[in-house]
Structure 1
């Protein structure tokens, strides 16, 4: 694989900046997604097609019901995973990465695959893998090493 000589590998501070930004975005997205489900369930309860039974309210129902808590958790996980996989594979950057002028790609500059995005996400440790960036001579995080990806800085004139 040829290295992208015109792009600098992203350092620790930029990675953490993008991580903080994306964390705020994904939390907002998850809150909105959960709010949609809560609104639907509350509307169903109001018109009489759903009853919470022994569960005192919608929150208790969604967190303790054996089936619905699993479905609700899976729904939120799919949104979280889908956010990163879609942005990394389709746009090559999340919104936080865009703000910090970062792009994820293979060393030859090609976009990463869905498999690489999933490996990158599931080995990231919710961003903790970025702690390995200062220890790696090529400034890669643990997740980038495993996924065979890299995070590059886009020069200001290309941003």
Structure 2
């Protein structure tokens, strides 16, 4: 088994990732996304307060004008999509996937296209929204493919553990 994946052939020789490691990696990624949302929210509040003024009404506990606007929510969506798309395109891994030694590529073992990233990004939340059925679908398939894998013509593989060097 190769220590690093340098070719599509090496990728296709790796075992397919199971459902549990994929969900745990997604949990890790949600922590990263939450941090990105906080940074985005900080800068969004700075911009809004500098140029438009905040119209929140904390005494009424109404923060909707500050964080409930369509433009703000669109920004959150773009930050989230940007994190996943850039990670999948740049390295085939998000931070959570790196922690669990997972890698995503198309079925030929090549880097995902932007189109495949968008399809994964659209179908992935649906896989979760259906009580995780899109992920657990992999238990019933020999290739362990989830809905977003099937829709985007991609697959997630389990990378091997790195061999530790012996200390002398």
Smaller-chain TM-score bracket: 0.7 to 0.9
Match of 2:149 among 132, 135, 144: 144
Q: Distance in 2 between matches of 1:97 and 1:83?
A: 13
The aligned residue for residue 160 of structure 2 is 155
Q: Distance in 1 between matches of 2:53 and 2:113?
A: 43
The aligned residue for residue 62 of structure 1 is 66
Q: Distance in 2 between matches of 1:107 and 1:7?
A: 12
Q: Distance in 2 between matches of 1:15 and 1:27?
A: 18
Structure 2: which 5+ residue stretches go unaligned?
Answer: 1-7, 164-168
The aligned residue for residue 50 of structure 1 is 52
Does the CA contact (< 8 Å) of 1:26 and 1:80 recur in 2? yes
Q: Distance in 1 between matches of 2:48 and 2:21?
A: 41
TM (norm. structure 2) is: 0.78
Q: Distance in 1 between matches of 2:152 and 2:34?
A: 25
Deviates more, 1:129-138 or 1:108-117: 129-138
The aligned residue for residue 88 of structure 1 is 88
SS at structure 2 position matched to 1:124: helix
Give, in angstroms, the shift of residue 14 of structure 1: 0.9
Give, in angstroms, the shift of residue 107 of structure 1: 2.1
The aligned residue for residue 41 of structure 2 is 34
TM (norm. structure 1) is: 0.82
Q: Distance in 1 between matches of 2:30 and 2:67?
A: 22
Give, in angstroms, the shift of residue 3 of structure 1: 9.3
Does the CA contact (< 8 Å) of 1:106 and 1:149 recur in 2? yes
